[in-house]
Structure 1
């Protein structure tokens, strides 16, 4: 009896050792790109909760507005009433404008000097070398002014227009998307609202439309002049410019698709059976449950509208 009990125990231990252990499978997780811009799901089941809607163009009647800021104030110079004192919100632009004025004076001086040297040469009192030196000095001044003029123009200012601007005027610089450019022209009257005076509206006029489109943002700078007789409006103040009622085709998405992180707006677009990408977008006004998208999407992009906060957490690591 004792022998049979020992044999049974041995058989039980052997059976336990031979029995395979259960394999614990890890739960599959999405793969996130280094910058968080692309999320790849391991299977179609996991991506299924993130339903999408097509981005589409729709005919919308809306007030076209653009954010801006007071980039400069124009005052009359107390030292030279014929000149304009321009106070920029960026000190570096003040340096550029001052340099332009100095270069203009230098160019006039060098032109006079060149004419004088040429006259002396004609009467045998100056050499050809002196003429060449005078020509070189004039050419250097003319080249130097180009760089400073280009810097001002990139910031939305025309140096010649600044010299002729009316005193007691502010200059507001704002940007509009490329797809709204056809509705904007020089001389157009607009209304402005300033953060410092929320209950007042100020009339302005578009003085200049930049000659280039920003390659990254696809925006075009405008310069708007606004009368400032009492000096209440200051350089650096924020403003919103309203360009009147417009009607046209605008890209829209559901407001549920939008997430905002650190002041920037994003949507998520399904780009493959198991892939979703994050897109930065610039938004316009909201109408009902749709939001205008001024850039960042194209027609029929599949924009995620459900469980967007989960994608936000995956993409940004929240």
Structure 2
């Protein structure tokens, strides 16, 4: 037993050493994020290969921009006053503003005559300066009231002069388009309409105006379209679909999967080196099939990430 003791001690010592040895944890590979998330560098080629790219290229695209629409107003002859056509609105509030606008116009003409008479009487000693002042005050108050209704109609997309000079047997159709599509339409452009009431017919309209105000919540902008309404077939409130023939021309385009959106801004990622990806803010245009037109932010030949772009979005923006 004594002779075997050294071997036993040696065995126990080796066992103890073996137990105390610990394996180092595997290295965690993480992308390097630079320039406040604008540049992402992958640690190796394997991780970089997960983000496939295609070169941005120019192509000739043609597409239709469609939007739901509604007949906002129609114009019919007035039986009582042939010199002033009637405008029938679908919106009761706009109808009220228009009615009061017309009434204020009539009142102003009457008060202008009264003011001229008061001045003439005062000049000839048959009236007083107070009569002139009162007539002037009434006229100014009427003009102020008129401006209020003009402003409300303008915000609704119908300038006062347009309504007062409206021709009978016409109709106005209103639709909305996203603000990022606004560059694809322009005043005077011809468009096609199909109404729910007449599904087998196609009407032609002219884009008469683009509203000056975008909706704060939806970021949509109203368009006003003039349509001929012979026979009075179109009625205020009717629903329609309006289609703008949009010839995109020779523009850069990328697959829809390349675009990521943060707080209303569009971005995509470009591979600038084998392991390096750069975030670019872009201005997008019309979507045609699975492609989206890019107006600015990239150049032809840039290697755009089309697969797993959402992962780069999370790395770049920190979520």
TM-score by shorter chain over 0.5: yes
The aligned residue for residue 104 of structure 1 is 105
Structure 1, residues 39-87: CA drift from partner, whole Å, max 9, x if none? 8645265455334445555445x47655351241315488846441321
The aligned residue for residue 182 of structure 2 is 177
The aligned residue for residue 86 of structure 2 is 84
Structure 2: how far apart are the matches of 1:258 and 1:126? 79
Cα drift, residue 92 of structure 1: 4.0
Summarize the Cα distance change of 1:127–1:142 in structure 2 as closer, same or farther, 3 Å threshold.
Answer: same
CA contact (8 A) 1:258 1:265 kept: no
The aligned residue for residue 42 of structure 2 is 43
Structure 1: how far apart are the matches of 2:123 and 2:253? 75
CA contact (8 A) 1:71 1:235 kept: yes
Cα drift, residue 111 of structure 1: 1.9
CA contact (8 A) 1:251 1:293 kept: yes
Summarize the Cα distance change of 1:85–1:209 in structure 2 as closer, same or farther, 3 Å threshold.
Answer: closer
CA contact (8 A) 2:210 2:221 kept: no
CA contact (8 A) 1:71 1:172 kept: yes
Summarize the Cα distance change of 1:238–1:252 in structure 2 as closer, same or farther, 3 Å threshold.
Answer: farther
2:226 to 224, 227, 231: 224
- Rg larger in 1 or in 2? 2
CA contact (8 A) 1:156 1:223 kept: no
Cα drift, residue 161 of structure 1: 2.5
Summarize the Cα distance change of 1:248–1:260 in structure 2 as closer, same or farther, 3 Å threshold.
Answer: closer
Structure 2: how far apart are the matches of 1:193 and 1:107? 42
CA contact (8 A) 2:54 2:303 kept: yes
CA contact (8 A) 1:251 1:292 kept: no
Q: Secondary structure at the match of 2:157?
A: coil
CA contact (8 A) 2:254 2:293 kept: no
Q: Secondary structure at the match of 1:177?
A: helix
Normalised by the length of structure 2, the TM-score is: 0.65
Structure 1, residues 175-203: CA drift from partner, whole Å, max 9, x if none? 6733653xx53xx6643223554432123
Structure 1, residues 104-124: CA drift from partner, whole Å, max 9, x if none? 233223323322332332233
Structure 1: how far apart are the matches of 2:139 and 2:123? 19
Cα drift, residue 281 of structure 1: 3.5
Q: Does 1:283 align with 2:282?
A: no
Cα drift, residue 171 of structure 1: 0.9
Number of equivalences: 297
1:13 to 12, 16, 24: 16
Cα drift, residue 29 of structure 1: 6.7
Summarize the Cα distance change of 1:86–1:250 in structure 2 as closer, same or farther, 3 Å threshold.
Answer: farther
Normalised by the length of structure 1, the TM-score is: 0.65
Gaps of 5+ in 1: 32-37
Summarize the Cα distance change of 1:269–1:200 in structure 2 as closer, same or farther, 3 Å threshold.
Answer: farther
CA contact (8 A) 1:278 1:315 kept: no
CA contact (8 A) 1:73 1:168 kept: no
